[in-house]
Amino acid sequence: MDFQIHITGFMAVYIFMLAAFAGWVIIGHVPAILHTPLMSGSNFVHGIVVVGGIFALLNASTALEQTIGFFAVLLGAGNAAGGYAVTHRMLAMFQTSETTAKPKHRHAESGHATANAAKAR
Amino acid sequence: MIITASQLIIGIVDLAAAFLFMYGLKRMSSPVTAPSGIFVAGIGMLAAVVASFLYAFDVEAAAKPHLLTNVGLAAFALAIGGGIAWWVGKKVAMTAMPQMVAIYNGMGGGAAGAIAAVELFGNRATGATQAVVTLVGALIGAVSLSGSLIAWAKLQGVLKKPLRMKGQQILNGLVLLATLIVGGTVIFAALGGDVGFISTPQLIYLFFGLALILGILVTLPIGGADMPVVISIYNAFTGLAVGLEGFVLENPALMIAGMVVGAAGLLLTLLMAKAMNRSVSNVLFTNFGDVAKHKQGAIKGSLKPVEAGDAGIFMRYAASVIIVPGYGLAAAQGQQKLYEFVKLLISDGVSVKFAIHPVAGRMPGQMDVLLAEAGVPYDLIFQLDDINDDFKTTDVALVIGANDVVNPEARTDKTSPIYGMPILNADMAKKVYVVKRGEGKGYAGIVNPLFYEDNCDMVYGDAAAVLTAMIEAVRGLGAQAAA
């Protein structure tokens, strides 16, 4: 069987079309509250460009190509690593009242407040 | 053609990565599953990067003598670029998030442009389609790089004023035209055409130079308030550039990831523009400051300043409070104090909700992140459409550091620059408190008639200081009752 990837013009257009549609549908369901992490999350996903950078650099045969390829990997790696770091940080912050109410959690204070509220009522 | 083992492994890993990216983004559609969403996407990325070193087994003949150097360079670039970006990403303040996203985004665009440059200098294009796609990807990537850097400079406050000059649109048009002409010549040369007076490498340098200048020129005249839309557009641009370069490298993972982000970025851009009640072309090509010079009619009523403590006590005895936070709150670093105050109110039996306007903060959803950082549970946070009907049955609306997003003129005054923009109906609450640093205007540069309404009182001061005073006043009540 032949697993070699040959992407012809039309096949590329089909892939692009389906991927664009998938992106549109997936993102369309994200609530506004998550728009910032989503933007940085999708920003992280295009960090996959680093893989293309590695490919280009490994195939470089002149000093010029090596220099540019080096920057392609450098920038792509920054895109991917930075995008992950900030997205992960942001998403870890989102808590519900239930999770914050658990006393072992770092926001134990708010749990205390919720308990007081229950007593007050 | 026989496929090698390394190609097979790369193929399988990239397929898995493409799946994990989409699955991860899908999981980001709820705050509950979102952290695991970014994690699975991260696994996909890590696997794809590690597998990509297997390309070393199938490099072009010309690159074989340099292979060891190239592998070393790649590992070094990964460690340096990834390491620094990771470290900065872990440290950066949440208020600085928009400019950070702009930087990372520009890096992605730059990487796509650099890949295109390697392909062009190596003259690797195998046909007209490939050459054209390489060029288009390079153009978009380069514009995204220089444009994102300008966006960063504006958000960071390095560039304070929008730079505008006469005939800017014409100049931009000419630079775009020149870029396209040079790009066309590069393609002509890549396909074996003879340009004569200029060498191909010189043409390629000229092309990238023009594309980078174009990104700068297009972004410079856009005002700081519109930067979120610009970042979102460049996010989509970078995705598109990555997708196109993925086609050139025959890498479907890049194609899929790039195009998913391109479409997602486009959708986000449209949503944002809609929330600001402006079209995307209006954001890009109209100078917002100029539109705002309309004549406002005389405003009835007066500004009524009150003490922070009195406002705090009033809210303590209200049944329901809706808080409308704006960027002024974050600028004063008042989120922690706000949540402390909210917890006090809740513990005294007051129903408290947060109402978030889509463009609160410096990018959509940033206010949600800033509140989450302060520990506010997200089930207290409501978006415009979900809460706007609640204002009229609410005792107090507390507006902190927000202005244009609660300006009722957007509903009534057809001549207002913000007419038609969806606003939070804070003015419909029985009582409105507005916490503000002074009597200044909002980003749109217009006076807010809400502040002059009978049911509205002003609390002047730094948001953090005002909230501290409110907390002390309410705590004081409790102490009196206990004594």
Within an 8 Å CB–CB cutoff, is residue A63 touching chain B? no
List the one residue out of B207, B47, B365, B144 whose CA is nearest residue A79.
B144
Q: What is the ipTM of this complex?
A: 0.85
Give the pLDDT confidence score for residue B291 in this predicted structure. Answer: 47
Residues above pLDDT 70, as percent of chain B? 95
Within an 8 Å CB–CB cutoff, is residue A92 touching chain B? yes
Cα B131 → chain centroid: 32
With 50 as the cut, is the pLDDT of residue A98 above it? yes
Give the pLDDT confidence score for residue B478 in this predicted structure. Answer: 74
Task: Report the pLDDT averaged over residues B453-459.
Answer: 90
User: Alpha-carbon distance B429 to B406, whole Å?
Assistant: 12
Chain B residues with CB inside 8 Å of A13's CB?
none
What's the pLDDT tens digit per position in B417-438? 778 788 899 999 999 999 988 7
Contact B258 A94 (CB under 8 A): no
Chain B residues with CB inside 8 Å of A34's CB?
28-31, 34, 365, 368
Contacts of B393 (CB under 8 A, 6+ apart): B320
User: Alpha-carbon distance B385 to B446, whole Å?
Assistant: 24
User: Alpha-carbon distance A95 to A53, whole Å?
Assistant: 37
List the one residue out of B94, B100, B102 whose CA is nearest residue B333.
B94
User: Alpha-carbon distance B163 to B220, whole Å?
Assistant: 6
List the one residue out of B389, B420, B398 whose CA is nearest residue B323.
B398
Task: Report the pLDDT averaged over residues B184-201.
Answer: 83
Contact by Cβ (8 Å): B411, B266: no
Give the pLDDT confidence score for residue A114 in this predicted structure. Answer: 42
Give the pLDDT confidence score for residue A118 in this predicted structure. Answer: 42
Residue among A3, A46, A62 minimizing CB distance to B258: A46
Contact A54 B52 (CB under 8 A): yes
User: Alpha-carbon distance B258 to B256, whole Å?
Assistant: 5
Give the pLDDT confidence score for residue B5 in this predicted structure. Answer: 86
What Cα–Cα distance (Å) separates residue B420 from each residue in B283, B284, B307, B448? 15, 19, 34, 15
What Cα–Cα distance (Å) separates residue B380 from each residue in A100, B248, B340, B376, B429? 12, 48, 14, 7, 18
Which DSSP category does B81 fall into? I
* Order of all β-strands in the sheet with B456-460: B381-383, B351-356, B320-325, B396-400, B431-436, B456-460
Residue type, B464: A
Interface test with B, best of A75, A95, A99, A102 (most B CBs within 10 A): A75
Give the pLDDT confidence score for residue B54 in this predicted structure. Answer: 93
User: Beta partners for B382?
Assistant: B355
Residue among A44, A58, A88 minimizing CB distance to B55: A58
CA B34 to chain A, closest CA, distance in angstroms equals 6
Residue ranges of alpha helices (H) inside B157-167 are none
Chain B residues with CB inside 8 Å of A67's CB?
none
Contact by Cβ (8 Å): B445, B284: no
Contact A52 B84 (CB under 8 A): no
Chain A residues with CB inside 8 Å of B369's CB?
36-37, 90, 93
Task: Report the pLDDT averaged over residues A93-99.
Answer: 78
Within an 8 Å CB–CB cutoff, is residue A71 touching chain B? yes
Residue type, B119: E
A72-101 burial, b if ≥16 CB within 10 A, otherwise e?
bbbbbbbbbbbbbbbbbbbbebbbeeeebb
Compute φ and ψ for B240, nearest 5 degrees: -60, -45
User: Alpha-carbon distance B452 to A106, whole Å?
Assistant: 42
CA A113 to chain B, closest CA, distance in angstroms equals 6
Chain A residues with CB inside 8 Å of B56's CB?
58
Give the pLDDT confidence score for residue B47 in this predicted structure. Answer: 96
User: Alpha-carbon distance A6 to A9, whole Å?
Assistant: 10
CA-based torsion, A13, A14, A20, A24: positive or negative: positive
With 90 as the cut, is the pLDDT of residue B228 above it? no
CA A99 to chain B, closest CA, distance in angstroms equals 8
Give the pLDDT confidence score for residue A31 in this predicted structure. Answer: 80
Contact by Cβ (8 Å): B190, B131: yes
Contact by Cβ (8 Å): B116, B149: no
With 60 as the cut, is the pLDDT of residue B102 above it? yes
Query: Which residue shows structure tokens 């809740």?
Result: B346
User: Beta partners for B322?
Assistant: B353, B397
Contact by Cβ (8 Å): A79, B138: no
Active-site annotation of B, residues: 404
CB atoms within 10 A of CB B296: 12
Q: Name the residue in chain B with its Cα closest to that of A85.
A: B89
Cα A83 → chain centroid: 6
Cα B380 → chain centroid: 24
List the one residue out of A96, A103, A121, A94 whose CA is nearest residue B346.
A121
List the one residue out of B304, B465, B311, B323 whose CA is nearest residue B397.
B323
Within an 8 Å CB–CB cutoff, is residue B205 touching chain A? no
CA B92 to chain A, closest CA, distance in angstroms equals 8
Chain B residues with CB inside 8 Å of A26's CB?
22, 25-26, 29, 260, 264
Compute φ and ψ for B413, nearest 5 degrees: -90, 105
Work out how many CB contacts closer than 8 A connect A with B.
442
User: Alpha-carbon distance B476 to B438, whole Å?
Assistant: 27
Task: Report the pLDDT averaged over residues A97-106.
Answer: 54
Region at B333 (left for phi over 0; alpha for psi -120 to 50; beta for the rest): left
What's the pLDDT tens digit per position in B272-330? 787 777 777 777 776 544 444 555 566 777 888 889 999 999 999 999 999 999 888 88
User: Alpha-carbon distance B390 to A64, whole Å?
Assistant: 63
Query: Which residue shows structure tokens 């102490």?
Result: B479
Looking at per-residue pLDDT, the higher value among B409 and B161 belongs to: B409
Task: Report the pLDDT averaged over residues B144-149.
Answer: 96
With 80 as the cut, is the pLDDT of residue B265 above it? yes
- Please identify among residues 35-54 of chain A the ones whose CB lies closer than 8 Å to any CB of chain B: 35-54
User: Alpha-carbon distance B103 to B84, whole Å?
Assistant: 13
Contact by Cβ (8 Å): B238, B109: yes
Cα angle value B47/B51/B54 (rounded, 5°) = 175
Contact A36 B365 (CB under 8 A): yes
Give the pLDDT confidence score for residue B90 in this predicted structure. Answer: 94
Looking at per-residue pLDDT, the higher value among A103 and A79 belongs to: A79
Within an 8 Å CB–CB cutoff, is residue A72 touching chain B? yes
Max Cα-Cα span within chain B: 95
What's the pLDDT tens digit per position in A5-44? 677 778 889 999 999 999 998 887 778 788 888 889 999 9
Task: Report the pLDDT averaged over residues B382-398.
Answer: 92
What is the helix (H) or strand (E) element at residue B472, kind and residue range? helix B463-482
What's the pLDDT tens digit per position in A36-71? 888 899 999 999 999 999 999 999 999 999 999 999
Contact B114 A33 (CB under 8 A): no
Give the pLDDT confidence score for residue A107 in this predicted structure. Answer: 42
Average pLDDT, chain B: 88
Contact by Cβ (8 Å): B108, A71: no
